[in-house]
Amino acid sequence: MRRFQSIVCLVLFGAPTELTAQSATPPRFVMACAPCHGFDGVSLERNIPNLAGQNREYLYRQLMAFRSGSRIHPTMNFFSNQATPDELERLVDYYAGLLAPPPP
């Protein structure tokens, strides 16, 4: 797990600040979220939630719960503590502003 976290931190802090595939410029911290939740906020895995179009306040509360440890998920607990409060605000604004995927 520590090796994975180190690799992701290197990718995260060396990540580009802009992605041309999106019309909106995602915050740099989206590089940490995208492997599981997708750049477009749509996960390819059924057990990983989609973030696109989610309610902004809901997303922020969940990140704060992971950050405080009141909600437990080792990866989310780690990453939510690596971002600054401002980065978390920009992250939830980004994902909440994306179009939600159509229902299956």
Sorting pLDDT into bands at 50, 70 and 90, what band is 8? Answer: very low
CATH architecture, domain defined by 2-97: Orthogonal Bundle (1.10)
Please state the rounded mean pLDDT for residues 5-26.
Answer: 47
Q: Please report how many Cα atoms fall inside a 13 Å half-sphere around the Cα of residue 79, on the Cβ side.
A: 28
Q: How many residues does the chain have?
A: 104
Sorting pLDDT into bands at 50, 70 and 90, what band is 24? Answer: low
C-alpha distances in angstroms, 2 versus 15, 30, 74, 78? Answer: 19, 20, 11, 11
* Residue 30 · residue 91 · CB < 8 Å: yes
Highest average pLDDT, of 39-48, 67-76, 94-103, comes from: 67-76
Q: Is the pLDDT of residue 33 over 60?
A: yes
Q: How far apart are CA 10 and CA 50, in angstroms?
A: 25
Please state the rounded mean pLDDT for residues 62-76.
Answer: 97
Domain ranges of the chain: 2-97
